[in-house]
Amino acid sequence: MTIRHLRIFVAVCEEGSMTKAGQKLFMAQPTVSLAISKLENHYGVKLFDRLSKRLYLTDTGRELLAYAQHIIQMFDEMETKVQNLSNSGTLRIGSSVTIGNRFLPSLLKTFSQNRPGVAVKSQIDNSERIEQAVLDNQVDLGLIEGVTRSSELVNEAFWDDELVLLFARGHRWETQPVVMPDQLKDEPFLAREHGSGGREVLESALLLHDIKIEPVWESISTQAILQAVLNGIGWAVLPLLLVEPLLKQGLLVTRPIEGISLNRKFAIIYHKNKYLTDIMQEFMDLCTAPILTR
C-alpha cells in the first residue's frame, strides 16, 4: 500500500465521487476505482457503501480516513522539511595545511555567502590524516595534495601545484643554475611531518634517483620551516603558492633540481559510497570553478 492509494482514497471521500476525485487528481475514473478496490482487498474491509449511485463511508472507512489524512499531512511535512535541508544543515570539510592556508578561507567565504544557512566545520591536518578522516566519515569532503591511497575514495583534481626548492640568500647554491640531486644530501633538510603530501612528492622523486635524506628539522608548521630556511638553518621544498611573496621580495632563493619534477595536483576526495548532497556538490563545484581571488 502506498501514499498514492491514500491520496486517492481521501480525494474520493472529499469529493463524494470517484469520477470527481479522478478529475481533481487528473486520473481516469477506472484508475480511481482500481485504487479503492486495492485498498479494500489489502485490508479485507469495505470502505464505501454504494447506494443509488452514491458513495457513503462505512465506519471502517471513517477510521481509515482519519489515519490517511494524518499520514498524508506528515508525509507532506517530511517532504518539505527534507527538501529545505538543501539550504541548511552542516558541511564537514577536511583540508591539508597548504590548501587550508591558501584556498580554504576564500572558498568558505564565498560558500557561506551563497549558503548562509549552512554551518561549515573545518579540520586542517596533513593529507594522510584527512584521507583517513574521510574514510572514517569524520568529514564529508577532503581537500588534499596529490592522490589517495585507498580504492574506497574518489579523487577529483581541481588545481595544479608546484613545489620548489628553497634556501636562504648567500647559500652556496645561489651561484648555481640548478642543484644536483646528490648535493641535497650535503645540506640540512627541513621537512614537514610524515603524511604531508609535499614531503611524499619529494621523497618519491628522490627515490627514483636512489636518494634518501633524513631531515634535521621536522615540523607540522609550514611557517616554522620557512623561518628556519630564512635563518639559514637548511633547505626545504614547499609549495610555490605559499612562498611566492618571499621569493619576489628576495628573501628566499629557489633553484630547480636537475632531472626532478615536483609538480602535483590538489584534489577533492570523498568516499565512493557517500551520498553527495546538493550542499556537497555545490562546494565541489566552487572548488573546480575559476576564482580570481586565488
Could you read off the pLDDT of 154-181 as tens digits, one per residue?
999 988 889 999 999 999 999 999 999 9
What is residue 96's predicted lDDT score, i.e. its pLDDT? 92
The CATH 3.40.190.10 portion of the chain extends over: 87-159+265-288, 161-264
**What's the CATH code, domain 3-85?**
1.10.10.10
Q: CA-CA distance, 214 to 197, in Å (whole number)?
A: 17
> Which residues does residue 143 pair with via DSSP β-bridges, in sequence order?
95, 268
Q: What is the pTM of this model?
A: 0.64
What per-residue string of b and e applies to 153-170 under the rule 16 or more CB within 10 Å gives b? bebeebbebebbbbbbee
What is residue 290's predicted lDDT score, i.e. its pLDDT? 60
Determine the topology of domain 161-264 in CATH. Answer: D-Maltodextrin-Binding Protein; domain 2 (3.40.190)
Q: Say whether pLDDT at 129 is over 80.
A: yes
CB 26 within 8 A of CB 98: no
Q: Say whether pLDDT at 53 is over 80.
A: no
Determine the topology of domain 87-159+265-288 in CATH. Answer: D-Maltodextrin-Binding Protein; domain 2 (3.40.190)
Instruction: At 257, list the grid cell.
Output: 633540481
